[in-house]
Amino acid sequence: MGSGRVRRAGRAAALIAIVAAVACGVLLGVWRPWVPAVGDSSVLASEESAAIAPTPLVLPEHPRVLVFGDSWTYGSAASEPTLGYAYVLADLIDGETIVDGVRGSGYLKPGIDGPDFGDRIAALDPELDPDLVIIQGSINDHKLGSVGYRDAVTSAWDALAATYPDAPIVVLGPAPHVLPVGAGTIRIDHDLEAIAAARGWWYISPVQDEWITEQNYLDVIDVEVGKRHPSTAGHRYLAEKVAAALADIEAAPVTEAGGAESTPGQ
Tally of structural domains, the chain: 2
Rounded-to-integer distance, Cα 8 and Cα 43, Å = 39
Statement to judge: residues 59 and 155 lie in one domain: yes
Query: Where is average pLDDT lowest: 50-64, 105-119, 212-226, 245-259?
Result: 245-259
Statement to judge: residues 68 and 181 lie in one domain: yes
Statement to judge: residues 19 and 76 lie in one domain: no
Asked if residue 176 is part of any domain, the answer here is yes
Asked if residue 3 is part of any domain, the answer here is yes
Q: Which residue has the higher pLDDT, 224 or 28?
A: 224
Statement to judge: residues 94 and 184 lie in one domain: yes
pLDDT, tens only, 66-86: 999 999 999 999 999 999 999
Asked if residue 50 is part of any domain, the answer here is no
Q: How far apart are the first and last CA of the chain?
A: 59
Statement to judge: residues 178 and 211 lie in one domain: yes
pTM: 0.79
In CATH, what number is assigned to the domain containing residue 109?
Answer: 3.40.50.1110
Its domain, for residue 98, covers: 55-251
Q: Give the pLDDT score at 47.
A: 47
Statement to judge: residues 126 and 247 lie in one domain: yes
Statement to judge: residues 223 and 135 lie in one domain: yes
Statement to judge: residues 63 and 101 lie in one domain: yes
Q: Are 214 and 221 in contact (CB under 8 A)?
A: no
